[in-house]
Chains A and B, each alone.
Chain A
Amino acid sequence: MPDDVNTTAAGVSRRRLLLGGAAGVGAAGLGAAGGYVFGASSTEPDPLAPIDAPQTPSEVGSLVVPFHGAHQAGIELEPQAHSSLLAFDLVSGVDRDGIRRMLRLISSDAERLTAGRPALADTEPELALTPARLTVTVGFGPGLVDRVDPARRPDWLAPLPAFAIDRLERRWSGGDLLLEVAADDPLTIAHASRMLVKDIRRYAGVRWRQDGFRNAASTVPHGSTQRNLFGQLDGTANPATGSEAFARVVWREGASPAWLAGGTSYVIRRIAMNLDTWDELDRGSREQSVGRRLDSGAPLTGSHEFDVPDLAARTPSGLPVISPIAHVARARSSDGAPQIFRRGYNFDVTAQQGTDAGLIFGSLQADPVRQFVPIQRRLAEVDMMNIWTTPVGSAVFAVPPGCVPGGFIGDTLL
């Protein structure tokens, strides 16, 4: 991506420097004894030398994701490094007109901040100048649509059915409004989310906030499947952004309801992962529980990450290579076609109380009841991973389509 945009002379030379650095590490090998190595120079590296001191802002910081369009931004893109998911409860008494005013404020802030421009009345305008692929994605919970017009709420916009594995806590569940603020720079997110929270507080208050992270921007090759805190590649089965499969899985069309055409649904589940008991497993058991190799992510019946798992394959002694209760066997749909688009972020808020880490499981699909619930049902029935994972939060939001200049997110409903 940086190769296609904003390729300044400084950027090129810096990239070469970093590539040279990687080669240098290999050449210098263990002799570098942990010191940083830069350039292809054969001279002894200076461990106190600055790592990289660009005189211009980095390409990562200046990238802009367009706000306007047929679909909302922040969904069909390689996920940013950081995400803050904020759910709000509407203030009592806020009616349709109040919701419209709130959505105008959100859209104004989002349009400006995602372009790297300060919000109106921005008291920290300097914090707005590094967009870093900032996106603000708006979702409506059941309560918001009901306040506008209950007749226009699709049936699926409701809490998911209860699953036996759930241990849901209110503090991570539900909400009338969702704002996902995501970017490759957490300071950018902090400013944008602060701006949004204070601009709409007359209409809505924060119900929960979940902050998640993936690899930092540009530390792994573009398109890499993310790893979760169990070390597993997570999201291998995702349809590729820009593909027909993605459009079929995620984007809604048609008139039921018409205000959601071009939109989607967003299921957000907070999955606690028990790192302490996972620690007790040897590597073979870990791979058996998922049905994939930990290093490459390849199914135990294949050699590459995207190889199709062969659930019928047997060992010479007649046992299934991939256990029928392994995660990959249970999550897979009958025809193997992707049903959902995963947008996952890790969380780790371990503190005095002990380990508290896991996955913010985001699932985007045109219809959550038809596409997501069957998968979750199968996993709730049997999935070895249930031993180490526990859903502690759950929320469903309708994501309205994007807006045109002069419009606002949600104008199709209001």
Chain B
Amino acid sequence: MSSTTRTTRTTRTVGRRSSLVVGLALVSALALSACASDTPTTETDSATTAAQSIQIVDGWVKAVDEGMTAAFGVLENSSTTDVTLVSASATVSPMIELHEVVKNDGAMVMRQKEGGIVVPAAGRHELAPGHDHIMMMGVSEPLLPGDEVLITFAFSDGSTLDHAFAVKDFAGADEEYVGGGDMGDE
């Protein structure tokens, strides 16, 4: 998002009629350089927490009136060490689990992910329908498209990160829940 806001301000004036255009290749180049400048240098800074190393991009939550839903997005790790996401919380959901989707007797089902979600050093981990996601249960107020939901992520070093997820209507992401515990669909 931030790289977009930086690059889309670029304008060009061409010919008699001004046209506000810029090559996508140029946008990509700027975005890459922006990312590069954002990336910490290779210094081993022990004061950097996991939360400081993680950026959440393209975060969104499936709209729901009540009950179960899920959050998705991409976790980007700018540090030189792996980062482990161990839990998440939000005021709109009393019970949030980190889930994975696996094949079970030929069907794709979701279950709690043991050991949390590991974001590799200088890498990324995608949370997407049909894959790992943030499972939100017991939602009691409607999550309306166009609103935002604040979710707090907790990492293995105890650091936490808040991020606002955009709510969107979404037809998919209805995998069956066969997780441990008794939080299944009702």
Q: Is B12 an interface residue (CB 8 A)?
A: yes
Residues from chain B with Cβ under 8 Å of A68 in the complex: 5, 8-9
CA distance A64 to B26 in the complex (A): 10
- In residues 87-137 of chain A, which contact B (Cβ within 8 Å)? 98, 100-105, 108, 111-112, 114-117, 120-121, 123, 131, 133
Tell me, rounded to whole Å, the shortest Cβ–Cβ distance linking B148 to chain A.
9
Query: A residues within 8 A CB of B58?
Result: 120
Query: B42 interface residue, CB < 8 Å from A?
Result: no
With an 8 A cutoff between CB atoms, is A5 at the interface?
Answer: yes
Do A59 and B23 contact each other (CB < 8 Å), given the known contacts A1-B15, A121-B72, A242-B18? Answer: yes
Report whether A1 and B14 are in contact in the complex, using a CB–CB cutoff of 8 Å: yes
Give the chain A neighbours of B60 by CB distance below 8 A: 120-121
A285 CB, nearest partner CB in chain B, Å: 33
Contacting pair B21 A63 (CB below 8 A): yes
| Partner among A59, A116, A133, A202 whose Cβ is within 8 Å of the Cβ of B145 | A202
Task: Give bound CA distance, A64 to B24, whole Å.
Answer: 6
Q: Which of B16, B20, B26, B27 has the largest count of A CB atoms less than 10 A from its CB?
A: B20
- Given A67-B8, A222-B15, decide whether A101 and B147 contact each other with a Cβ distance below 8 A: yes
Instruction: Give Cα A69 to B8, complex, Å.
Output: 10
Cβ-defined contact, A62 with B169, below 8 A: no
Q: Smallest CB-CB separation from A112: which chain B residue?
A: B4
- B107: interface (CB < 8 Å): no
Asked if A73 and B20 sit within 8 Å, CB to CB, the answer is yes
CB pair A76 B9 closer than 8 Å: no
Residue of A nearest to B11 (CB): A66
Closest Cβ–Cβ distance, residue B131 to chain A (whole Å): 14
With an 8 A cutoff between CB atoms, is B183 at the interface?
A: no
A198 at interface, CB cutoff 8 A:
yes
Majority secondary structure of chain B interface residues (helix, strand, loop or mixed)? loop
Whether the Cβ atoms of A62 and B23 lie closer than 8 Å is yes
A158 at the interface (CB under 8 A from B): no
Among residues 129 to 178 in chain B, which have CB atoms less than 8 Å away from a CB atom of chain A? 144-147, 166, 168-170, 172
Which residue of B has the minimal Cβ distance to A111?
B4
Q: Number of contacting residues on B, CB 8 A?
A: 38
Check if B168 sits within 8 Å of A242, measured CB to CB: no
Inter-subunit contact B12/A201 (CB<8 Å): no
CB nearest to A408 among chain B residues: B146
Q: Which of B14, B15, B27 lies in contact with A64, CB distance below 8 A? A: B27
When distances are taken between beta carbons in the complex, the residues of chain A under 8 Å from B47 are: none
Known: A66-B10, A115-B4, A115-B8. A1 touches B21 (CB 8 A): yes
User: Is the C-beta of A303 less than 8 angstroms from some C-beta in chain B?
Assistant: no
Min Cβ gap A172→B in Å is 28
Contact residues in B for A98 (Cβ distance below 8 Å): 144
Q: Is B24 touching A199 in the complex (CB atoms < 8 A)?
A: no
The contact of A120 among B9, B12, B166, B172, by CB within 8 Å, is B166
Nearest-Cβ distance from residue B97 to partner chain A, whole angstroms: 21
Q: Which of B5, B13, B16, B72 contacts A405 (CB 8 A)?
A: B5
With beta carbons under 8 angstroms apart, the residue of A117, A121, A240 that contacts B4 is A117
Query: B15 touching A105 by the CB < 8 A rule?
Result: no
Smallest CB–CB gap between A249 and chain B, Å? 15
Question: 5 A-B pairs, CB-CB below 8 angstroms?
Answer: A5-B26, A64-B27, A68-B9, A100-B146, A242-B17
Residues of B within 8 A of A (CB): 4-5, 7-27, 58-60, 62-63, 72, 144-147, 166, 168-170, 172
**Given contact pairs A1-B21, A8-B25, a sample of 11 additional A-B residue pairs in the complex whose CB atoms are under 8 Å apart:** A4-B12, A64-B22, A77-B20, A78-B19, A101-B146, A101-B147, A104-B146, A104-B166, A111-B4, A131-B24, A222-B17
- 10 A-B pairs with least C-beta separation: A101-B146, A6-B23, A242-B18, A405-B5, A62-B24, A5-B23, A241-B17, A120-B60, A66-B8, A104-B146
